[in-house]
A and B are shown apart, each in its own frame.
Chain A
């Protein structure tokens, strides 16, 4: 830790980090449940376990990832189109030829081929997958990272507990929860935490001078008015200056990674996001989402899916291998999911349209038994014929891995009751 923090004693450091985390980075020192939680909720799963996952890296394929051309291998069917299939490191598990690198890690991965959503439009499907609730204009529901922070607080006191690396400004974030549990949003993984570096032409002494001058010039005003908002405004400056000097800022800095890591993960924004996700988790961030867009392949599916898969394949395989090598895969759950699949029937534009009826996602690490396929579709991937999984069940499985109480009710400010994963039933058989 830097000199400033090293000098201060333990208590004031704790105070600082907790306040900073609260006002800055969307974290709180303690779970934020005081007086809010309630008795068990009818219909919600009572399943509880000791968490098998400490962290989640959630890779979101925005636009609707074709299940047939990725994880639901249907060799020898018309629906598969021109795609060939390849063997993987897991016995009996086939993958699309578009994912050759990922194939080497399938012994860590559970594929779910029987996932189903009720939402067939992008905004609605995306929202449903992120919150387990349908999109409404009267309320905004929290995303999984926000639920986790709400229930469990954070890991590293000076970093946010959840980060979303995306350009999508519609992410539900904290939903109706207080802003303090909101995931920190980063649009460009390469640029780190926004505004955390000094203006180029200022020395540290210059900035310190200006901050202290500002306080001198503001002293009279602040002493005249006793307003909570104004006091909070004063506090954020102390914390801002400290965070600029904090070691933990390095968690956001991809320049600290060696060239071979950049090489391994790839240069695309998504791939850099995967690398940043690993780095953040290493530093104590617990829930990181990375988005890869471009999956809405109504036209020329077999031109565009392989392009997207190349990014996914490199980023995902690098992440799984890297986490494994560092011994982090055991307690880090890696998720790949999307809002819906694509029609098995190839349309006349060589494309596939929206298909919420059945699609695929994967889970790896974090207590998941690798090398398995859960659920089954008919030949051609039209519908689930075995172990159908609804979106809330899928999300309940993530929450279960994190050890979140699935039946604990939290009330919105409008006094409506909600649970994490909206009464979904976790797929407990995937673990162990």
Chain B
């Protein structure tokens, strides 16, 4: 019995054979696992299954109708390997992996320091786009200081401003797959880490200060040391400075959350430290938690040596974690689960394979595309998915990949693909609006710091700034008048005066900028910084005019309703178009890669309904089914958006000449395959029974199938 099985397995392997020697090595190792456990591998995946899976896995979207046709028709025996390479080279890869890493890094653009958030997002996209090796990315994140107009990588520290200790726990969890957060407050109850270990580790990153380093350190500039600060001259200056502080505050405000300074600050133990190895409030020196020491080489700072230690192939967990994470991305499950809770007793489900993958990652020099290319080219990856999921606690022997529901972003990007066609050319573009604003901030910063403080104070005084006494008096007077009016019950008049007050106050803010930058400088700043939103694509900022058109069915309905009354028909058309603009029209206009939308999307957005992470905690995305998802696909605007004549999908369907060809195109667009014989029968009956609405019925129905949302 056993012999036969082994024989079958061997023939199954030799049946197609992987394209790369490293891929073949994976297949060889996994075949031993099947043999040992008396298992049959899953059948090889058909072209249709492979096609949809590789698109979603690499570029995070389903293929377009043209892409699907081209691949299915091709007789090139290397077509799979070629497609893998083509997709890995596309910007869709960066968009897809951006969503993944943004969830891991908790990257937010909807928070304080929004511009730094956008710069951080742009940094991550560009790193993925140029395929920066993972170790180099991590080093850059750990060591970058300065301003966000110079590098968005400072977003790594800015994300957790004022929470350096928490930030360290996240850093260790994300890059080293180890949870030490408990040890922040007391020795770890389930692992070996002591609170002292935690503080030793935190001492490496604690100097990266995201609170200092912005604004106008005028005082220290005027009097660099303590002694100088006491001189009568310095004190006079300080008084002077006070008299213009409103203007300075107003101007500095925009520079908040834009820079990180590298300092030599060290963490102190908490005041209630209860262990005997040190006293409360004692400063703690850096020391690594495992592996070799992170001693500073000549020319290296503390954080440099830490980054070198973290990303070294010698580090016992760094390589392992990323190798396992990317394996899980491709296969649906890690060889180590969970991926970020490793302890000394953790053993992979297949040690030989894990060891090989770890070695492979190091050999590929942390080139994630090269590593993924090996996995995608394995026979194992190119098999049918297992027909059953893996129960909690059960070991999976990888007889093929596991089936997965698309992530929220993959669903959204697939919808965008159906509407716009191949969306990869426009993906992961830098956020130009944010860049423009950041440039303006950079200029503001330089101008302020290049000016002599005395001159600056004199300039502000001369032009009045935010402190203009006349204006402040006027504001006070109007406020009092408004209060009196309100007391007398004259609410409307009071409200009118209140509006004037707020307008005046806005004026004094602008005056502060004029005083500091000069009238021309302030105007330029206003133009560059204030105008235009940063949400860019799909947001309020720059949005293409929405093209909407009513379907023929809708037009027919309206005509019937109006019954020849042209005016009424026009009104009805207008209303319908307005509704369209708000509903499916908004989907069409916003059909942009999720990676290029705000991170995360606001609550209630389709992305959030389908489980996009709120990016508050690490890997917080969910693929769980919930009723709002069904409601969104049944009653939300997506179905109408796909059926709208402007969508790429509809154009292809409309171009098909026969009804059967139309149905085939619908299947190809939504499921990347042709209908089966059985389905063709169902479709014929739909066409017979429903005539005019048949097409819309089938599209809406397929959109709501498990087969659309899940990837085999």
**Nearest neighbor of B179 in chain A, beta-carbon distance:** A414
B627 to A20, Cβ gap below 8 A?
yes
Please measure, in the bound complex, the distance between the C-alpha atom of A179 and the C-alpha atom of B110, giving whole angstroms: 22
**Interface bin, chain B:** 35 or more
Q: Are A230 and B702 in contact (CB under 8 A)?
A: no
Q: Give the nearest-CB partner of B693 in chain A.
A: A206
Contacts of A303 in B (CB 8 A): 479, 482, 498, 501-502
Report the separation of the CA atoms of residues A419 and B234 in the bound assembly, to the nearest whole angstrom.
53
In the complex, A42 has a CB within 8 A of chain B: no
Contacts of A300 in B (CB 8 A): 475, 479, 501-502, 505
C-alpha gap A300/B502 in the complex (Å): 8
In the complex, what distance in Å separates the CA atom of A365 from the CA atom of B520?
Answer: 59
Contact of A138 among B166, B385, B678 (CB under 8 A): B166
B181 A348 Cβ-Cβ under 8 A: no
Given contacts A196-B635, A227-B388, A237-B704, contact A302 B483 (CB under 8 A): yes
Residue pair A349, B246 in contact (C-beta under 8 Å):
yes
Interface check A244, CB cutoff 8 A: yes
**What 1/0 mask marks residues of chain B from 608 to 647 whose CB sits below 8 Å from any chain A CB?**
0100001011000011111111111011100110000000
Once the chains are docked, how many angstroms separate the CA of A245 from the CA of B609? 21
Tell whether, in the assembled complex, residue A302 and residue B479 are in contact, meaning their CB atoms are under 8 Å apart.
yes
Looking at the assembled complex, report how far the CB atom of B422 sits from the nearest CB atom of chain A, in whole angstroms: 26
- In the docked arrangement, what's the CA distance between A24 and B706, Å? 18
> When the two chains form their complex, are residues A243 and B627 in contact, meaning their CB atoms are under 8 A apart?
yes
Residue among A123, A210, A304 making CB contact with B112, cutoff 8 Å: A123
Cβ of B546 < 8 Å from any Cβ of A? no
B387 within 8 A of A: yes
Contacts of B501 in A (CB 8 A): 300, 303
Whether the pair B557, A228 counts as a contact (CB closer than 8 A) is no
CB of B709 within 8 Å of the partner chain: yes
Nearest-CB distance from A301 to chain B (Å)?
9
Indicate if the CB atoms of A201 and B557 lie closer than 8 Å.
yes
Against B, the Cβ 8 Å flags (1 = close, 0 = not) of A188-228 are: 00000011111111000011011101101110111011111
Distance from B167 Cβ to chain A, minimum over Cβ atoms (Å): 6
Max chain B C-beta neighbours (<10 A), residue from A136, A140, A196: A136
Report A-chain residues with C-beta under 8 Å of the C-beta of B505.
299-300, 349
Contacts of A216 in B (CB 8 A): 682
Q: How far is the CB of B379 from chain A (nearest CB, A)?
A: 21
Within 8 A of A (CB), among B474-532: 475-476, 479-480, 482-483, 486-487, 495, 498, 501-502, 505
Does B710 interact with chain A (Cβ within 8 Å)? yes
Q: Are B179 and A225 in contact (CB under 8 A)?
A: no
The answer to whether B66 has its CB under 8 Å from any CB of chain A is no
Residue of A nearest to B608 (CB): A169
Q: How far is the CB of B502 from chain A (nearest CB, A)?
A: 6
Per-residue interface assignment for chain B, residues 62 to 88, with 1 indicating a CB less than 8 Å from any chain A CB and 0 otherwise: 000000000000000000000000000
Complex Cα–Cα for A226 and B475 (A): 70
Does B58 sit at the interface, judged by CB under 8 A?
Answer: no
Q: Scan A224-256; emit 1 where CB is below 8 A from any B CB, else 0.
A: 111111101111110111011000000000000
A137: CB under 8 A from chain B? yes
The yes or no answer to B573 lying at the interface (CB within 8 A) is no
B564 at the interface (CB under 8 A from A): no
Interface membership of A45, Cβ < 8 A: no
Minimum CB–CB distance for B187 against chain A, Å? 13
Q: Kindly list chain B residues whose C-beta atoms are within 8 Å of the C-beta of A195.
A: 628, 631-632, 634-636
- Supposing A137-B170, A217-B679 touch, asked if A236 and B707 sit within 8 A by C-beta, the answer is no
What residues of chain B lie closer than 8 Å to A24, measured between beta carbons?
A: 626-628
- With A227-B403, A350-B476 known as contacts, the answer to whether A244 contacts B706 (CB < 8 A) is no
B707 in contact with A218 (CB, 8 Å): yes
Partner of A224 from the list B163, B387, B636, B702 (CB cut-off 8 Å) is B387
Given the known A-B contacts A196-B635, A415-B190, are A233 and B482 also in contact in the complex, defined by CB atoms under 8 Å? no
CA distance A197 to B636 in the complex (A): 9
A97 beta carbon closer than 8 Å to chain B = yes
Bound form: Cα–Cα A213–B480 in Å = 68
Q: How far, in whole Å, are A132 and B324 apart by their CA atoms in the complex?
A: 37
Which residues, 288 to 302 on A, are CB-close (under 8 Å) to B? 299-300, 302
Q: Which of B163, B482, B498 contacts A137 (CB 8 A)?
A: B163
User: Is B389 touching A199 in the complex (CB atoms < 8 A)?
Assistant: no
B480 to chain A: closest CB distance in Å?
6
Q: How far is the CA of A348 from the CA of B166 in the complex (A)?
A: 37
Query: What A residues does B710 contact at CB under 8 A?
Result: 221, 225, 227, 229-230, 233
CA distance A197 to B498 in the complex (A): 41
Closest residue on chain B to residue A182 by CB atoms: B626
Which residues from 400 to 415 on chain A have a C-beta closer than 8 Å to any C-beta of chain B? 414-415
Nearest to B553 among chain A residues (CB) is A201
B residues 582-631 with Cβ under 8 Å of A? Answer: 600, 602-604, 609, 614, 616-617, 622-631
Q: Is A179 in contact with B622, judged by CB distance below 8 angstroms?
A: yes
A99 → B minimal CB distance (Å): 13
Query: A138 touching B617 by the CB < 8 A rule?
Result: yes
B159 part of interface (Cβ distance < 8 Å) = yes
B701 contacts A by Cβ under 8 Å: yes
Is the beta-carbon distance between A196 and B631 smaller than 8 angstroms? yes
A123: B residues at CB distance < 8 A:
111-112
Could you tell me if A187 and B603 are in contact, using CB atoms closer than 8 angstroms? yes
Q: Is the CB of B697 within 8 A of A213?
A: yes
A25 at the interface (CB under 8 A from B): yes
Is the beta-carbon distance between B700 and A210 smaller than 8 angstroms?
yes
Contact A137 B160 (CB under 8 A): yes
CA distance A256 to B553 in the complex (A): 32
- List the A residue with the shortest CB-CB distance to B698: A213
- With the chains together, A227 CA to B179 CA distance in Å? 30
Task: Indicate which residue in B189, B603, B705 contacts A169 across the interface (CB closer than 8 Å).
Answer: B603
Among A236, A350, A416, which residue has its beta carbon within 8 angstroms of that of B182?
A416
A185 interface residue, CB < 8 Å from B?
Answer: yes
- State whether B630 touches A198 (Cβ < 8 A): no
Chain A residue contacts of B707, Cβ below 8 A: 217-218, 221
Most buried by B among A207, A214, A299, A302: A214
Is B169 engaged at the interface, CB distance under 8 Å to the other chain?
Answer: yes
Does B287 sit within 8 A of A, measured CB to CB? no
In the complex, what residues of A have CB within 8 A of residue B617's CB? Answer: 137-140
Question: Which of B501, B557, B626, B679 is most buried by chain A, counting CB atoms within 10 A of its CB?
Answer: B626
Is there contact, CB below 8 Å, between A226 and B388? yes
Cβ–Cβ < 8 Å partners of A210 in chain B: 634, 697, 700-701, 704
Residue pairs across A and B with Cβ atoms less than 8 A apart, 14 shown, are A139-B181, A169-B602, A185-B603, A200-B579, A201-B557, A213-B686, A213-B698, A222-B706, A228-B389, A230-B706, A240-B627, A241-B634, A300-B501, A348-B472
Chain B contact residues, CB within 8 Å of chain A: 106, 110-112, 159-160, 163, 166-167, 169-170, 179, 181-182, 184, 189-190, 246, 385, 387-389, 403-405, 472, 475-476, 479-480, 482-483, 486-487, 495, 498, 501-502, 505, 553-554, 557, 579, 600, 602-604, 609, 614, 616-617, 622-632, 634-636, 639-640, 676, 678-679, 682, 686, 690, 693, 697-698, 700-702, 704-707, 709-710, 712
The interface of chain A, by Cβ under 8 A from chain B, is 20, 23-25, 82, 84, 97, 123, 135-140, 169, 179, 185, 187, 194-201, 206-207, 209-211, 213-214, 216-218, 220-222, 224-230, 232-237, 239-241, 243-244, 299-300, 302-304, 306-307, 348-350, 414-416
